[in-house]
């Protein structure tokens, strides 16, 4: 009596594996840029919050001393201009630097201020390169090398 043994192969062929890898690669190539843009947009919100927080601290200083300061250490930050400013906004201190810009002749630092947030690290590749906030409430963003009024969402 002759017995026949049927062989069944288990697993994947190389072709099947390569097709799966190609599909995953295509999906990643489509999804990753959108993900990166979403993360950068979220970090922009952190920068705006950090500027608002710094403005609030400067207003508190003005209420006490009748003068603003160009040095952020005067309002409780550990570092002065252009250094990483620790805030209660988690990503702002890593991806943005906050500073008080030099006052102009018509607006000395004793009477008004202008805060600016500049991106750092990967955030420098964002279309929005800076945010500004004035003591009078004026807001600006630099979008593709052009200053625009307001902070649109």
Rounded Cα distance between 21 and 120, Å, is 34
pTM of the model: 0.70
- Find, among 129, 128, 133, the residue nearest to 116 by Cα: 133
Closest CA to 95 of 153, 42, 150: 42
Residue 26 pLDDT: 94
pLDDT at site 21: 95
Give the CATH fold of the 16-82+89-149 domain. Answer: Glycoprotein, Type 4 Pilin (3.30.700)
Spatial contact of 72 and 90, defined as CB atoms under 8 Å apart: no
Under 8 Å between Cβ of 130 and 141: yes
Contact between 88 and 42 under an 8 Å Cβ cutoff? The reply is no
The domain spans of the chain are: 16-82+89-149
pLDDT averaged over consecutive 10-residue blocks of the chain (153 residues)? 66 88 94 87 85 88 84 71 50 75 71 84 78 87 84 76
Q: Where are the alpha helices (DSSP H) in the chain?
A: 14-65, 92-95
- What integer pLDDT is reported at residue 20 of this predicted model? 94
Position 84 scores a pLDDT of: 47
Length of the chain measured in residues: 153
CA-to-CA distance for 82 and 102, rounded, in angstroms? Answer: 12
């Amino acid at each position: 009596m002759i017995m026949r043994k049927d062989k069944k192969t288990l697993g994947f062929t190389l072709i099947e594996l390569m097709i799966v890898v190609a599909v995953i690669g295509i999906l990643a190539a489509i999804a990753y840029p959108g993900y990166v843009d979403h993360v950068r947009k979220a970090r922009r919100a952190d920068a705006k919050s950090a500027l608002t927080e710094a403005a609030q601290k400067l207003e508190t200083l003005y209420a006490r001393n009748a003068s603003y300061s160009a040095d952020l250490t005067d309002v409780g930050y550990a570092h002065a201009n252009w250094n990483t400013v620790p805030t209660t906004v988690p990503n702002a201190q890593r991806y943005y630097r906050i500073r008080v810009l030099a006052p102009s002749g018509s607006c000395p630092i004793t009477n008004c201020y202008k805060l600016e947030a500049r991106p750092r690290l990967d955030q420098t590749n964002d279309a929005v390169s800076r945010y500004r906030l004035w003591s009078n409430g004026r807001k600006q963003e630099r979008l593709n090398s052009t200053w625009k009024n307001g902070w649109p969402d």
